[in-house]
Structure 1
Amino acid sequence: MMKHLAALATVLAGTAGVAAGEGGDILISTLQSGDIDAGLESLQPLVGGGDTEASFAAGVLTLVDGIETFAQAMYRHGLTAPNVGMAGALLGVPLTPPVTANPEPQPLDYEGLRAILEELTNAMDNGRDLLAAAGESGDYVVPVDIMTIRLDLDGDGTADDGETVAAILAGQLGVDPSDIFETAPGDRKTQSKGEEAADAGFVIGFDRADAFWLAGYSQVVAAQAEFLLAHDFEDMFDASFHRLFPQAGLPMQDYSRGRSLGLFDPESDSALADAVAFVHTFNFPVVDADRLRGVHARLKAIVAFSRQNWEAILTETDDEHELVPSPTQTSPVPDVAVTQEVVDAWMETLDSVEAILDGELLVPHWRFAQGFDLKAYFETATRTDAVMIFTGYGALPFLKDGPVADAQAFRQGLEVFGDDFPGFALWFN
C-alpha cells in the first residue's frame, strides 16, 4: 500500500500543462486559504452566467464547507474515538485514550445532533446540484494539490498550518506524509514535522468527469445522515453516545467507569456494557417514511452518478493527472492498470447493485431460502431492528421469491477485482 501511494504521488506531483480558468483559480486559492465564504461569493456571478467550471468550483466548496461545518460541530461537542478498553482490544479494536480534542466541549442533546445531521445533508445536496450541472458540459481541468487544502476544523475562524490535509494526516495517522508522498526538495533535517507535511504533494486534475464522481460521494455522505434522520435513534444516543462525546453531558457520562463485572477491569467492563447497549438500542422506529425512501433514492443516485462519471471518462482525449483514468489514460497507480476488462467488470457490478436496489435481485439471508427485498424495506418499513432482522423475525415482512444475489451476480467483478474490490469501490465510487 505504501509503495502504491508513493507511486501515485510521484505521477501526480507535477502540474505542467494543466491550467485552470477563472473559476478554477478561485477554487484553488480558496482551498489553500480556507476562506470558503469569500470563495463562494466570488463564484456567484460566474455560476449565474452559466460557467460550468465555476459551478464545479462552487460545488466543491459547498461540499467542503458542509464537511468543515460538521467537523466543527463534532469538535465543539468533544467528539473523540471511543475508549474501548481491554474487551475491545481483544476484539481487534485499537485502544484509544479517552481524551477529547476539545478541552472545553459544549453540551450536546439529541435534537442538537439531528440539527447537525440535517445541516450536513442540506450541504451535500446543494453541492450535488452544482456538481451535476458542472458535469453536463465544459472542457476544464482544475489542478488541486490535495495536501494543501486547509480546513478550519476547530471553528476558531482560522485554518492554520496545522489544519492542512497534510498536517491532519500526519496527526491522525501518526505518520509524516513525506514518508508516503513525494515531497518538494529541501533539507528535512532543518524542517519541522508541519513543514515536511506541507511539502507533501498530491495533485489531481479535476475535470467534468470528476464533477459526477464528487456528486456521487456527496450522496454517500448524505445517505448515511438521512438514514439516521428517518428514524428515532434517541435511545441509542442516550445509552451509548457518551463513548463518542464523553464530556458533552449525556446521561451515562458519569458512568463510563463503573463497578466491575469481573470480566476484565471496571473501565473495560463498562465499555463492553455500552457496546451491548448500542446493539440493543439499534432498534429504531421510522419517524419519517419519506426520508427512508429518500435514502433509497440517494443510493440509486450514487449508481447513476457512477455511470455518468464513466461515460464522461471514456470520452476524454487528454491525460492530465486523472483521478480515475480510462484504459487509454495513465493510471495514477502504475501497478494497478485500469483496463477495459476493469471497466466492464465495474459496469457489471453497477448493474447488479442497481438490480438489488430495484428489488429485482434479492439480498441473501442466512436463515431463509427466500431473499430480502431491499426496495420493499426502504419503501414500507416502520421500524429498523438490526438484531431482529439479522436473526430472522424482523426480516419476514421483506422476504420475497425471486433470484437471490450470489457470487454469480458479481462474477466478473470478483474475478477481476478479487480481494482488491473494496479499494476499487472506494476509488471508482
Structure 2
Amino acid sequence: MMKHLAALAAVLAGTFGVAAGEGGDILASTLANGDHAAGLESLQPLIAADDSEASFAAGALTVVDGIEAFVQAMYRHGLTTAPDIGMAGAILGVPMTRSVIANPDPEPLDYEGLRAILTDLVTAMDGGRDLLAAAGKSGDYVVPVDILTIRIDANGDGVADDSETIGAALALQLGINPSDLLGPGKSKSKNGESTAQGFIIGFDRADAFWLAGYTQVVAAQADLLLAHDFEEMFNSSFHRIFPQAGLPMQEYSRGGTLMMDPESDAAIADAVAFIHTFNFEVVDVDRLHDVRARLKSVVAFSRQNWEAILAETDDERELVPSPAQTSIIPDVAVTQEVVDAWMETLDSVEAIIEGELLIPHWRFRQGFDLRAYFETATRTDAVMIFTGYGALPFLKDGPIADAQAFRQGLAVFGENFPGFALWFN
C-alpha cells in the first residue's frame, strides 16, 4: 500500500512540478488585485533571506508597476493611438475620425515632462532587471500566473477593476468577448459561464532571465530617445498623439486646404515636420553608450535563459519550452533545430552589436558599424544617414550582414521569424 502511495506521489510531483512558495503566492495574488506596493513590501523579508522565488516575484512586480506608471502617465496626458488625419487616413487604412481619448480631461504635457516619464520607466526596468537576474542564479521554483487576470490600473484612479485586466484589454483590441480568449483549459463559474481565466504560465528560473532581457529591450528604446534632444520634434508633431495636452501646434491640427482637405493636409504637414526634425543632437553620451550595453545584455540574458531551459527536467506550463517539454502555445513545437537556429541568430546579432559584422547600406559597398555609432555619434540625423552623407563617419570595411549571416534562422523560422524573436527574446 505504501509503495502504491509513493508511486502516486511521484506521478503527481511529475505532473504538477514544484509548488509555488510564499513569494509566488504573493506575486499571483498581487498581480490579480493590483496592489503592487503592498506586494513588494510583503516580499522584502523573503528577499532579505535570499529567497530566489521572492526575488523573481519582486522583479516581476517592479516591471509591472513601472509599466503601469507609464500607462497611467500616457492616460493622464490623453495619449491616443488613432489621430484624426482626414481623408489621408482612409487612404492609409486609418480611421477618419479620432478614437475616443481615454482621458476626457487630459493634463498638459511638456518636453521635460515626457523626459521625466521615460526616465522613470528606465529606472523601473533596471530595478526589475537586477531582481530578476538574482532570481535566475538559483532556485527550484515554479510560480503559476494566469496572465489574463493581471490587473493594470490604466487610468490611475487607484482601482484596477475587471475592465483593466490583461484579458479585458486584449479582448478589446481583438474586438471579442474576454471569455473567447480561453482555450481548452477554460474555467467555468457556478452559473456555467466562462470566467476570465485559462492562460496560466508556470514561471521559473529560466523565465527570470527571459523577463530580465525584456526589461532591457524596453529600457534601450527609452534610453535611445533620452540620449538625444528631441524637443523640436516633440513641439512640432507630438500633438498628433497627445491631441489635448497643450502642445504648441494643438490648435492647428486643422488648417486650410492645400491638396486634399483641411485635416489631411495638416496631417501630411505634421508628418513632414516629424521627418524633418528627426535630426537629434546627442546630449547624453553615457545614455547612448548604455543603449549598446543594454542590447548586449539582451543577448546575454537570452543565452542564460536557454542554458536554464535546457537544464530543466520538469514540464510545468512552460513559457518557452525545451525540445523535451510541451509548449503552452498550440501546434508550436520547439525542436533542437529551432534552438540551434536561435543560438546562431544570437551570435550574429552580437557580432553586429560588437561591430564585427556590419549593417548593409544601400548606397555603399562598405558596411555601417553600429558599435562606432553608439560610441562616437554626436548627432543622429535619420534622413542623412539613410541617404548616405550622415553614414560616412560609421562606414568600415569588413563582413556585412546578409541572408547568409542568418541562414539557419531564416531556414528554420522562415516568415515566422518575427514571432519567434518576440517569443524567445
Normalised to the residue count of structure 1, the TM-score between the two structures is 0.92
1:246-292: CA deviation from partner (whole Å, max 9, x where unpaired): 00000000011111112x22111211111111111111000011100
Asked if structure 2 preserves the Cα contact closer than 8 Å seen for 1:18 and 1:143, the reply is: no
Asked if structure 1 preserves the Cα contact closer than 8 Å seen for 2:233 and 2:273, the reply is: yes
Question: What pairs up with 1:267-286 in 2 under 5 angstroms?
Answer: 267-286=263-282
Extract structure 1 runs of 4+ deviating beyond 3 A.
Answer: 15-18, 91-96
C-alpha distance in 1 between matches for 2:288 and 2:97: 34
1:374-399: CA deviation from partner (whole Å, max 9, x where unpaired): 00000000000111100101000000
C-alpha distance in 2 between matches for 1:364 and 1:181: 44
Structure 1, 93-102 or 142-151: larger mean CA deviation:
93-102
The corresponding residue for 2:237 is: 240
Matched residue SS, 1:417: helix
The corresponding residue for 1:210 is: 207
1:171-198: CA deviation from partner (whole Å, max 9, x where unpaired): 233222322322323599x96xxxx5x5
Q: How much has 1:97 moved relative to structure 2?
A: 1.9
Letter in 2 for 1:374: L
Asked if structure 1 preserves the Cα contact closer than 8 Å seen for 2:125 and 2:219, the reply is: yes
In the alignment, is residue 201 of structure 1 matched against residue 202 of structure 2? no
Letter in 1 for 2:221: Q
Q: How much has 1:63 moved relative to structure 2?
A: 0.2
C-alpha distance in 1 between matches for 2:182 and 2:293: 38
The corresponding residue for 2:115 is: 114
- Structure 1 alignment gaps of length 5 or more: 1-14
Question: What pairs up with 1:28-427 in 2 under 5 angstroms?
Answer: 28-81=28-81, 82-93=83-94, 95=96, 97-182=98-183, 183-185=186-188, 198-262=195-259, 264-427=260-423
Structure 1, 78-87 or 159-168: larger mean CA deviation:
78-87
C-alpha distance in 2 between matches for 1:400 and 1:269: 42
Between the two proteins, the alignment pairs up a number of residues equal to 408
Structure 1, 84-93 or 301-310: larger mean CA deviation:
84-93
C-alpha distance in 2 between matches for 1:187 and 1:55: 36
Matched residue SS, 1:199: coil
Q: How much has 1:90 moved relative to structure 2?
A: 2.2
Q: How much has 1:162 moved relative to structure 2?
A: 1.1
C-alpha distance in 2 between matches for 1:272 and 1:19: 56
- Structure 2 alignment gaps of length 5 or more: 1-14
Letter in 1 for 2:345: T
C-alpha distance in 2 between matches for 1:372 and 1:412: 23
Letter in 2 for 1:184: S
C-alpha distance in 1 between matches for 2:87 and 2:304: 47
Q: How much has 1:53 moved relative to structure 2?
A: 0.3
Asked if structure 2 preserves the Cα contact closer than 8 Å seen for 1:148 and 1:164, the reply is: yes
Q: How much has 1:98 moved relative to structure 2?
A: 4.6
Matched residue SS, 1:402: coil
The corresponding residue for 1:23 is: 23
Asked if structure 2 preserves the Cα contact closer than 8 Å seen for 1:388 and 1:394, the reply is: yes
Structure 1, 415-424 or 160-169: larger mean CA deviation:
160-169
Structure 1, 267-276 or 355-364: larger mean CA deviation:
267-276
C-alpha distance in 2 between matches for 1:165 and 1:226: 26
Identity among equivalent pairs (%): 77
- Per the alignment, do residues 339 and 365 of structure 1 end up closer, same or farther by CA in structure 2, a change over 3 Å counting? same
Asked if structure 2 preserves the Cα contact closer than 8 Å seen for 1:18 and 1:205, the reply is: no
Q: How much has 1:94 moved relative to structure 2?
A: 5.1
Letter in 1 for 2:20: A
Structure 1, 44-53 or 94-103: larger mean CA deviation:
94-103
Matched residue SS, 2:108: coil
The corresponding residue for 1:5 is: none
Asked if structure 2 preserves the Cα contact closer than 8 Å seen for 1:88 and 1:272, the reply is: no
Q: How much has 1:18 moved relative to structure 2?
A: 5.7
- Per the alignment, do residues 410 and 95 of structure 1 end up closer, same or farther by CA in structure 2, a change over 3 Å counting? farther
Asked if structure 2 preserves the Cα contact closer than 8 Å seen for 1:177 and 1:200, the reply is: no
Higher relative contact order (CA 8 A, sep 6+): 1
Letter in 2 for 1:365: H
C-alpha distance in 2 between matches for 1:17 and 1:185: 24
Asked if structure 1 preserves the Cα contact closer than 8 Å seen for 2:205 and 2:308, the reply is: yes
Q: How much has 1:160 moved relative to structure 2?
A: 1.0
Asked if structure 2 preserves the Cα contact closer than 8 Å seen for 1:18 and 1:141, the reply is: yes
1:119-167: CA deviation from partner (whole Å, max 9, x where unpaired): 0000000000000000000000000000111111111111111111111
Matched residue SS, 1:293: helix
Matched residue SS, 1:338: coil
Q: How much has 1:199 moved relative to structure 2?
A: 2.2
Structure 1, 173-182 or 415-424: larger mean CA deviation:
173-182
C-alpha distance in 1 between matches for 2:147 and 2:251: 41
Matched residue SS, 1:285: strand
